Structure 1
Amino acid sequence: MCPLCLCGSFHPLALEKCILEYILPTKAGRAHSRAIKFAIVGRIAVLLTQKRSPFSLPPMIFDPASLPSHRQTIRPISATALHGIVFQDNKLIAIDAKNGYLYQIALDTGHTTVLNSHRWQEFVGTTGLAIDDQNHLWFTTRENLYCCTLEDFTPKFFTRLPYTANGVAVTGNTIYVTCQRSGQIFIFDRQSGQEITRLYAPGIGIENITIRGEELWLTDTLEQTVYCLDRATGEQLFSMITPFESPTGLAFYRDANSGKDILYVAYAFQEPYIRDNPNSEQVYELSYRPRTFVHPLYFHYDPAKKYTLSNGYLIELSYVEELEPLYNVELKNVEWRIALPLETPRQKIRSVEAVGLPFIEEIEDGQRVAVFKFEQITAKQRHIFGWKVLLEVWGIKYQITPKDCEDLPDLPADFPDRYLIDNDDLAMNTEIILNAAEEATGRETNLLRKVYSIRNYVYDQLSYGIKPHIDTPDIALRRGVGSCGEYVGLLLALCRLNGIACRTVGRYKCPPHPLERNLPLEPDYNHVWMEFYLPSIGWVPMESNPDDIFEGGPYPNRFFMGLAWYHTEIAKDIPFERMLSEGQPVLKTQVPIGDLAINHVQFIILEELAPKD
């Protein structure tokens, strides 16, 4: 029976008819028709698959009043490369660098207009945008900074930088202009046009800028980061990782309901996709298309814990093995152990359930492990078994400086025997690795700077590439090409030889498409990174290879002491997956797990989360 109108049908077409004829004609229904339709059908599908009676539904299963007053993600029609953005009343003003359009978007309706319809040519290539207290528009194009009114948009030249000017912000009589080529923020006096001073720009990419009170806020395209700086000194107060790549602009919006400032960030990048080309022999071909939008950046900075959390997501992560041996095998009294995700400052478990077969949960070295038991495993058996976890994941960026790492205490007593030795084929006694450990750090004594130097040394020596198996660090270093596992192996070896406690972390990254909700997403590969230990501070993450994006540098610090929301932490200090037969470990050289089963990894992004204050 239909749980909406009791029409006597469970059929999806009947549900569709109820929605179209009885719910959508209402005023609230018309306003949010698509969202209501998907939410109701989706909710009913969940209840039916859970074998729950639809009569257990409350009278109203979806409240249109709970929808946000304006669209969370802003996508101006026809926009291809949004950069500078600024809010004016309840409207967003945004510049498209490619076509020169100055968009005005109403936040409540999404209605979009082009303000400079007769002067768009002068705005082609514009990236920076600001509106001052006299309602003048400031913008950067190539090396120049211009000003105009919002009535006729006739550019008035203000100043010229030695290199390309990127972002601009104005407060009172002070103008701030970012410049990637010089790595600086230029500060000008508005009245005289004279340069006052310069501040250091924290990232290596193209940076845009806005002002809030006594703070400067910057986006960086390559760092995938937003920085908060002291406006007077340029000192970095904190930073955060953005949920999408290539942030190109930012602005604060004062929400009338909550009275709080919401930080919105613009993004622009090229998205690969499969194009249907009927004129080609190969009908389907790889192509690229522009993607650009504006999305809120939620964050919480904890000065005591020295990290910032940013946009989180509730995800469903499933790890399932499909038992299908490749050859005749017989194992008796088998324990198949699969680690469960961890609880960390950026990752929280809401629920865990078994898939296929039940498991018992054990604690191994402080970590939760799912243990599946089989009386025997033979080539003729077929099973699926694993776990499904509802998981909160967040972006995290640690705010630790070399000054924080002066005069650190000694490592805990048990750490040297666990995290300074060669316990994973790290080739730490080979000449090439011993020489590399010395060369990577030189005379540096500060622990944090040593780790940073080792990272950059490894990036200088290796380029990313995947092989069927992982070689030891000495072989990878000679070859000059490594997978994420080989990057980690070399990083571990060099850090441990320099007295830095470190360990491997993994295991998977969710495909980074946070706007693709309630769809199964499958990663192409597994992934590992590392953590290093700072006495009195704790374990700090560092990615393996993703920041190695330029041959010879400079390298972004995006994932140096930081992780994006899509990293899932599953195993530290213990194997992710292993087997015991009759109480004895089953070695890879005897029966590799990959010869017994096919692993299936699936992510479903359910909703976006904002960190609590």
Structure 2
Amino acid sequence: MSSTFKINPQIDLNISSIITPFAAKNIQGLSYIDKYLLAIDTSLGYLLKIDPETNNTQILNPENTEDFIGITDLAIEGNTLWVVKDNLVYFCQLDNLKLQTFLSLKYPINGIAVSESTLYLSCQKFGYILVYSHKLNQEITRFYLPGIGQEKMTIKGENLWICDDIEQSIYCLDRATGSVIFNVLTPFEHPQGLSFYPELGGGEEKLYIAYANEEPFIRDNPNVEPNFELDYRDRTFIHPLTYYYNAPEKYALSNGYLIEMSYVEELAPLAEFNLNKVEWRIALPSETQRQQIVSIEPIGVPFTEEVIDGQRVAVFKFEQLKSSDRYIFGWKALMRVYSIKYQLTPQDVENCPPLPPEFTKPYLTDNDNLAMDTYTIRRAAQEAIGTETNILRQIYKIRNYVYDRLSYGIKPRIDPPDVALERGVGSCGEYLGVLLALARLNGIACRTVGRYKCPKHPEIIGLPQEPEFNHVWMEFYIPGFGWLPMESNPDDIVETGPYPSRFFMGLAWYHTEIGKGISFTTVTSQNVLLTKETVPISDLAINHVRYRVLGELSPLSN
């Protein structure tokens, strides 16, 4: 698989293109009128007219805001405004904004889109997009919802565009058949509305996405001691989505960022030691379809490079290391990163070729304490796939099987997969161990990928951000296509399912791919590998991980 999209090698950056309407609390739904965006604040009942160039905000319904409280989406056709609230569809004229009931359904309606005499209504509880004739006031047809969350809609040409708040995704559908053409991840969580907006000068239309959720913050409260306390506040804003869809290679990219990542080891041993001819290896970021390396430079101590199983590794060499020595050493990488979503379907892999023989030893065997010979894991491997023979459906069923049986929790150490599965609670590493074991026992080649995620704040430009934990996920191999990503635990967010598929064959911009299938850090002394039983690396040094988001990358070119 090759990267074929075009990007300016000079790195054309936007500092930030976030629109923050004044006084807005919870934007639900988005539309376009004249040179403005139209949005509903469902909590306040404001119908907002927003200038995306200046953030200038106007309330269009100052005398009847209560009528608009609870509205979840809107659409404009001519001079008519259509909105949905609970299980009702309303309409009104833009020059008087007096809502009139059009129809009532059995279940709550989440989203609406309008094209001439046709209404598209999304209903999460019902599981369908209902297509209605405005003139006949009756249902014409219905489509399955592409995701599992509440979905808002807009129309562009012959396509129906949908955002899903749980899936963190935008879907492009053929509005005649309801079939998904492609989907992409959004850079922020909880998308709540979308609309196309014509560019000034007749350029390509921008796709704006509205977001709404709560965020934690440290509140300064002078009436308590200590005066700082944790609190939550509403956060809502609008941001343009950029995307690139490569149909032949079956993947789609969305919003990119230029980020700087630094990884540093601080030599600070916990016990006495004396090591000679030390080589300290630290994996370097990988070059992938969604992650492009601009530059890598050493921090503290120079390094040489090696390539291990196709992965770049920095090698720091010390003639002698003593417990009294103090060093900092590591690397700093400048990277272009994008979100990626692969568009492979089960039908695409029905007749895939056999797995290459050289994949058997590294990717199908128990080479990482996976407990693949235990009764617990072998039985789980059989139960997980049942009678399924399609490789893509198999790995999807394995993921759901693990999600049904594990809940997320962090512990001081990582236990083997059989212990984690019997306990029912696991960290990302333990989720990963179970997934690897079940997949390999079913003949699906897979490997560990990680190692860190940038904090999810791309709007914080230029300031250092430090992740609290490291993180691992996996890649599985489809013969004839290649490696595909699958998250370990972040999609396990709904008790007993259904589970979102945002990170099944997808990664967000904040995932940093480092050292695919190899150890992230190893230390040898006189060519002897240090292990947990000899001298644990964690007893030798403290690691420091730092990110800086430097700006948004210019839109991708098809």
| TM above 0.5 | yes
Normalization by structure 2: what TM-score? 0.96
1:210 aligns with 2:148: no
1:611 aligns with 2:553: no
Cα deviation for residue 355 of structure 1 reads: 0.3
- 1:181-196 alignment to 2 at 5 Å? 181-196=125-140
1:359 aligns with 2:330: no
1:111 aligns with 2:56: yes
Q: Is the 8 A contact 1:323 1:382 kept in 2?
A: yes
Whichever residue aligns with residue 230 of structure 2, its letter is L
Deviation >6 Å, runs of 4+: none
Alignment partner, residue 145 of structure 2: 201
1:123 aligns with 2:104: no
Provide the rounded CA distance (Å) in 2 between the counterparts of 1:280 and 1:488. 44
Alignment partner, residue 365 of structure 2: 421
Q: Is the 8 A contact 1:365 1:574 kept in 2?
A: yes
1:448 aligns with 2:392: yes
Q: How many residues align?
A: 546
Alignment partner, residue 506 of structure 2: 562
Q: Is the 8 A contact 2:16 2:551 kept in 1?
A: no
Structure with bigger helix share is 1
Give 1:598's match in structure 2, choosing from 535, 542, 554. 542
Alignment partner, residue 46 of structure 1: none
Cα deviation for residue 71 of structure 1 reads: 8.1
Normalization by structure 1: what TM-score? 0.88
The structure, 1 or 2, with the larger RCO (C-alpha pairs under 8 Å, 6+ apart) is 2
Alignment partner, residue 139 of structure 1: 83
Deviates more, 1:603-612 or 1:479-488: 603-612
Q: Aligned with 1:414: secondary structure?
A: helix
Question: Can you give the 5+ residue segments of structure 2 that lack an aligned partner in the other structure?
Answer: 1-11
Q: Deviations over 1:225-262 (max 9, x none)?
A: 00001101000000000000000000001112352011
Q: Deviations over 1:504-536 (max 9, x none)?
A: 000000000010000000000000000000011
Percent identity, please. Answer: 57
Give 1:252's match in structure 2, choosing from 175, 179, 196. 196
Q: Deviations over 1:103-130 (max 9, x none)?
A: 0112333221100111111110111110
Q: Is the 8 A contact 1:441 1:450 kept in 2?
A: yes
Give 2:488's match in structure 1, choosing from 530, 544, 555. 544
Distance 1:247 1:162, change over 3 A: same
Provide the rounded CA distance (Å) in 1 between the counterparts of 2:17 and 2:421. 47
1:99 aligns with 2:51: no
Q: Aligned with 1:327: secondary structure?
A: coil
Cα deviation for residue 346 of structure 1 reads: 0.5
Q: Deviations over 1:353-381 (max 9, x none)?
A: 00001111111111111100001111110
Whichever residue aligns with residue 73 of structure 2, its letter is G
1:279 aligns with 2:223: yes
Whichever residue aligns with residue 30 of structure 2, its letter is I
Whichever residue aligns with residue 556 of structure 1, its letter is P
Alignment partner, residue 171 of structure 1: 115
Provide the rounded CA distance (Å) in 1 between the counterparts of 2:52 and 2:522. 52
Provide the rounded CA distance (Å) in 2 between the counterparts of 1:82 and 1:111. 15
Whichever residue aligns with residue 56 of structure 2, its letter is H
Alignment partner, residue 25 of structure 2: 80
Whichever residue aligns with residue 304 of structure 1, its letter is P
Q: Is the 8 A contact 1:334 1:377 kept in 2?
A: yes
Q: Deviations over 1:332-352 (max 9, x none)?
A: 000000010000010000001
Q: Aligned with 2:306: secondary structure?
A: strand
Q: Is the 8 A contact 1:71 1:108 kept in 2?
A: no
Provide the rounded CA distance (Å) in 1 between the counterparts of 2:202 and 2:436. 47
Cα deviation for residue 167 of structure 1 reads: 0.9
Q: Aligned with 2:357: secondary structure?
A: coil
Q: Aligned with 1:320: secondary structure?
A: strand
Question: Can you give the 5+ residue segments of structure 1 that lack an aligned partner in the other structure?
Answer: 1-65
Provide the rounded CA distance (Å) in 2 between the counterparts of 1:579 and 1:503. 22
Q: Deviations over 1:509-566 (max 9, x none)?
A: 0000010000000000000000000011110000000000022111100101100000
1:322 aligns with 2:266: yes
Deviates more, 1:169-178 or 1:253-262: 253-262
Q: Is the 8 A contact 1:71 1:110 kept in 2?
A: no
Q: Aligned with 1:425: secondary structure?
A: coil
Alignment partner, residue 318 of structure 2: 374
Cα deviation for residue 185 of structure 1 reads: 0.5
- 1:215-294 alignment to 2 at 5 Å? 215-257=159-201, 259-294=203-238
Whichever residue aligns with residue 385 of structure 2, its letter is T
Task: Supply the RMSD in Å over aligned alpha carbons.
Answer: 1.3
Alignment partner, residue 434 of structure 2: 490
1:500 aligns with 2:444: yes
Provide the rounded CA distance (Å) in 1 between the counterparts of 2:85 and 2:456. 32
Whichever residue aligns with residue 111 of structure 1, its letter is N
Provide the rounded CA distance (Å) in 1 between the counterparts of 2:51 and 2:13. 17
1:587 aligns with 2:531: yes
Alignment partner, residue 3 of structure 2: none
Whichever residue aligns with residue 508 of structure 2, its letter is A
Provide the rounded CA distance (Å) in 2 between the counterparts of 1:107 and 1:558. 28
Q: Is the 8 A contact 2:16 2:459 kept in 1?
A: no
Q: Aligned with 1:377: secondary structure?
A: strand
Provide the rounded CA distance (Å) in 2 between the counterparts of 1:527 and 1:173. 49
Cα deviation for residue 282 of structure 1 reads: 4.4
1:472 aligns with 2:384: no
Provide the rounded CA distance (Å) in 2 between the counterparts of 1:162 and 1:395. 37
Q: Is the 8 A contact 1:175 1:187 kept in 2?
A: yes
Q: Is the 8 A contact 2:80 2:91 kept in 1?
A: yes
Provide the rounded CA distance (Å) in 2 between the counterparts of 1:443 and 1:84. 43
Q: Deviations over 1:557-594 (max 9, x none)?
A: 01011000000000112111001111111112111111
Provide the rounded CA distance (Å) in 2 between the counterparts of 1:258 and 1:195. 36
Provide the rounded CA distance (Å) in 2 between the counterparts of 1:533 and 1:258. 43
Q: Aligned with 2:154: secondary structure?
A: strand
Alignment partner, residue 11 of structure 1: none
Q: Aligned with 1:274: secondary structure?
A: strand
Provide the rounded CA distance (Å) in 1 between the counterparts of 2:504 and 2:444. 15
Distance 1:606 1:67, change over 3 A: closer
Whichever residue aligns with residue 86 of structure 1, its letter is S
Alignment partner, residue 332 of structure 1: 276
Provide the rounded CA distance (Å) in 1 between the counterparts of 2:229 and 2:128. 41
Provide the rounded CA distance (Å) in 2 between the counterparts of 1:404 and 1:280. 61
Whichever residue aligns with residue 98 of structure 2, its letter is T
Distance 1:301 1:117, change over 3 A: same
Q: Is the 8 A contact 1:325 1:378 kept in 2?
A: no
Q: Is the 8 A contact 1:208 1:218 kept in 2?
A: yes
Provide the rounded CA distance (Å) in 1 between the counterparts of 2:160 and 2:407. 35
Provide the rounded CA distance (Å) in 1 between the counterparts of 2:133 and 2:417. 54
Q: Higher Cα Rg: structure 1 or 2?
A: 1
Q: Is the 8 A contact 2:16 2:552 kept in 1?
A: no
Q: Is the 8 A contact 1:71 1:107 kept in 2?
A: no
Distance 1:213 1:475, change over 3 A: same
